Each structure stands twice: as C-alpha cells, then as structure tokens.
Amino acid sequence: MAAKPKILIIEDDGFLLQMYSAKLEMEGYEVISAQDGQKGLKIALKERPDLIILDLKLPELDGFQVLQKIKKNKKTSEIPVLILTNLSQKQDIDQCLDLGAVDYLIKAHFVPSEVIERIKKILQG
C-alpha cells in the first residue's frame, strides 16, 4: 500500500489545528503540526510533507516568512503550500501567490469540508 500523503499544518490556533488534524486523519492523511512559524519551518525541512497548510499570523516567524523560506530552500521548494488565514487583503493574497503558494483560502469563507476538497485537488495534481 502506498504511504499516506503527509500534511503539515502550521497554525497557532489550537482549536483549528485539532479540528483540521482530525478531519484530515479521517480522510486518510498523516498529519503533523506546528503552532509557530519557526517550528513549522524546521518540521517542513525534516519531514518534507506532501502539502503544507500555512496560517499567516503566527508567532516566531509569520506565514509570509515561512512561505518565503520554504520556497527558497531546494529541499522544500516543490512542496505545495496552501494558505489558510483570516487575512483577506488583496496585497496579502498577491504576495503569497507571488511567493509561490498554490492556493489562498480565507478561513471565514470556507467550511472545513471545502478546505479538504481543495487539499485533495492539490494532492491529486
């Protein structure tokens, strides 16, 4: 059997982190998580997940910095990064897409099942 796709969630909101972790595990994904940008970056380099779900407002390093570092590093530059945040300014969205994020979802506009559908689409290529 093929290995389960591994998803790294970098999110400082414990409730959201647990909810998404549980939902993704139920869908058959292996989930690893971090609650600050610095830890998230370390885990991304070590684990090389199949997908990273990244919040932008994070302690230590913010999501913009994390995204930039992930995309600049040869080990992690190919990993798709899905931004899941409450920041809805066009400049934030444009900046993330310019930095290489595959998608940008505003938390308030998507229910978890829709986020899971996006994740499946990204992982199926």
Residue 13 lies in a domain: yes
**pLDDT averaged over the chain?**
96
Residue 79 lies in a domain: yes
pLDDT(1) > 70: no
State the Cα–Cα distance between residues 86 and 52, nearest whole angstrom: 17
Amino acid at the residue 89: Q
Cβ atoms of 89 and 117 within 8 Å: the answer is no
State the Cα–Cα distance between residues 45 and 7, nearest whole angstrom: 13
Residue 9 phi, psi (nearest 5) = -110, 120
Six-digit token string for 59? 């302690």
Residue 1 lies in a domain: no
pLDDT in tens, 34-83: 999 999 999 999 999 999 999 999 999 999 999 999 999 999 999 999 99
pLDDT band at 25 (very low <50, low <70, confident <90, very high): very high
Residue 10 lies in a domain: yes
Domain of residue 31, CATH code: 3.40.50.2300
How many CA atoms lie less than 13 Å away from 90 in the CB half-sphere? Answer: 0
The domain tally of the chain equals 1
Contacts for 15-18: CB closer than 8 Å, 24+ residues apart: 16/107
The residue range of the domain holding 66 is 6-124
Mean pLDDT confidence for 91-98 = 98
Mean pLDDT confidence for 88-96 = 97
pTM, 2 dp:
0.96
